[in-house]
Structure 1
Amino acid sequence: MDKTYIKQREQELEIQAKKRRGLIRRLSALAIIAFTLGCIGLVTIYSQAGALEAKREEKLVLDEQLRQLKMEEQRLHQDIKNYNDLDYIAEIARRDYYLSKPGETLFKLPESSSD
């Protein structure tokens, strides 16, 4: 009876050892998978943060370009209004092309220097 008990006890211990080894293997595999997924997640977050920063810088540059283009648009709208104004056209013609109305004499004065 002692031999059967000892054999049975050895078999139980062997089964427990196999279960323990299987558990350790499964937990090790699970830890490796979790570590791998964690590393992939960190790399993804890091690359997305870099891309986001690049997009922010690009947005700042584009915002500045937009501001400049809006200013130019306002200037061009003002030019359109001016070129539709006959008084403005007459002023430009007198100043740049020395045109005058009949009976009018133009005098070109030298630019005054503040030296």
Structure 2
Amino acid sequence: MADQKKKITRLKTQYASEKNREQERMKAVEEKRRRGLSRRLTALAAVGILFTIIASVTLISQWSMLEAKKEERNSLEIEIKELQAEEIELKQEIENYNDIDYIAEIARRDYYLTKPGETLFKVPAQQQSD
């Protein structure tokens, strides 16, 4: 069969040459379409990758910011508890300073004041022996 194809001669007519040109033109158009499709798909993939990168960076930065805010909130909650405890102590101190007996005790202890007819004796502090 291969021998028979070699023996066939092609006609060099105007019709045959027009057909060959038409086929070549169709191949060129098809090749151009394929290149265009390839370029469009490459551009679409690049845009998709760029979008994915931007979305990932945004999500990671938001996640880290959220974690920082959680840590800040925890530290502020601890500070609030400490301030509330201090407030309770200060309220107790206010109540104590409104009590006459407490004020008298502080005056005796810190300022060595006495009531009329009282005598104050200062005893040295006992030393602990090891």
What range describes the TM-score normalised by the shorter chain of this pair?
Answer: 0.7 to 0.9
Higher relative contact order (CA 8 A, sep 6+): 1
The two structures have a TM-score, normalised by structure 1, of 0.81
Give the RMSD, CA atoms, in angstroms.
2.0
Q: Following TM superposition, by how much is the alpha carbon of 1:31 offset from its aligned partner in structure 2, in angstroms? A: 0.7
Please tell me whether Structure 1 or Structure 2 has the larger radius of gyration of its CA atoms.
2
The alignment of Structure 1 onto Structure 2 pairs a total of residues equal to 115
Aligned equivalents of 1:71, 1:109: Cα separation in 2 = 35
**How many angstroms apart in 1 are the aligned matches of 2:115 and 2:94?**
24
Residue 77 of structure 1 and its aligned partner are, at CA, apart by 0.7
2:111 aligns to what?
97
TM-score, length basis structure 2: 0.73
Gaps of 5+ in 2: 1-14
Task: Give the structure 2 partner of residue 7 of structure 1.
Answer: 21
Distance 2:124 2:94 in 1: 30
The letter of the residue matching 1:69 is L
Q: 1:50 aligns with which of 39, 64, 73?
A: 64
Q: Which amino acid aligns with 1:62?
A: L
Task: Give the fraction of aligned pairs with identical amino acids, expressed as a percent.
Answer: 49
* Matching residue's letter, 2:63: A
The aligned counterpart of 1:108 is 122
Displaced runs of 4 or more, over 4 A = none
